[in-house]
Amino acid sequence: MAAAGTPLLTVMDIFQVIARAHIPQPEAALLKVGDKAKITVPGEDNPVEGKITVVSPALDPNSTTVEVWVQAKNPDQRLKPGTSVQVSMLAQTVPDALLIPAAGLLTAQDGTTSVMVVSADNHAHQKRVRVGIRQGDQVQIVEGLQAGERLVASGAYGLPDNAKIKIENQNEK
C-alpha cells in the first residue's frame, strides 16, 4: 500500500515532446519563440522538425547559458522521454558571409581579433578583423578581410608580422 500523497502512476503524452537545450547567451539572444528547430537522435539520419516554444529570460549563473525548449510532434514515437538528442536551431541567416577556419583567428589579451594575411611575395602580415557568428570550426569575418585574400589558416600564433612563409599544398601530402 502506498503512502498518502505518493503518485501511483505517471501519464505521458509522447505524441508531442519537448527537448531542452542550454545555449550560450550570445546565441540565445538571437533566438525567439516560433523559430524553427530540428531534433536529431544520435545514430539516426532523419531529424524531427520542431519549433522553439520557450527562451528562458533567466541566465544560468553556473554555466552562463540560457535554457531553450524545442517542441516537436512525435507521431511515430521515435523520440522517447529522457533520450539525449541533438538540437539544431537557425538563429540568423547571413547571405554571402565571409567564413574562415577558427584556427586562423588570433585573439589578443585585450580581446581584439586579427588574422595573418599572406601577401603576393609570401610574407605574413597581421590584420585586425571584426568577427560575427561563430559556428563550429568556422568564424564569420564582418570587417577587415576581403574575399580572396589568403591567410594563415593554422599555426599563426607567435608568427611575427612580415615573416617570410612557405606555402604548402595540402593536396600534395
**What would the grid cell of residue 96 be?**
554571402
Where a domain ends, among 34, 63, 89? 89
**Can you give the CATH number for the domain in which 110 is found?**
2.40.420.20
pTM: 0.56
CA distance 53 to 60: 18
Please indicate, yes or no, whether residues 140 and 114 belong to a single structural domain of this protein.
yes
Q: What's residue 173's pLDDT?
A: 46
Percent of the chain clearing pLDDT 90 (strictly above):
55
Q: What's residue 133's pLDDT?
A: 83
Please indicate, yes or no, whether residues 54 and 75 belong to a single structural domain of this protein.
yes
Where a domain ends, among 69, 89, 109? 89
Please indicate, yes or no, whether residues 21 and 81 belong to a single structural domain of this protein.
yes
Q: What's residue 170's pLDDT?
A: 56
Q: What's residue 51's pLDDT?
A: 96
**Phi then psi for 19, rounded to 5 degrees?**
-105, 135
Residues of the chain with pLDDT under 50: 173
Q: What's residue 142's pLDDT?
A: 93
CA–CA distances in Å: residue 171 to residues 101, 117, 152: 17, 21, 16
Domain hosting residue 69, numbered range: 16-89
Burial of 30 from C-beta contacts in 10 A (0-12 / 13-18 / 19+): middle
Q: What's residue 110's pLDDT?
A: 93
**Can you give the CATH number for the domain in which 38 is found?**
2.40.30.170
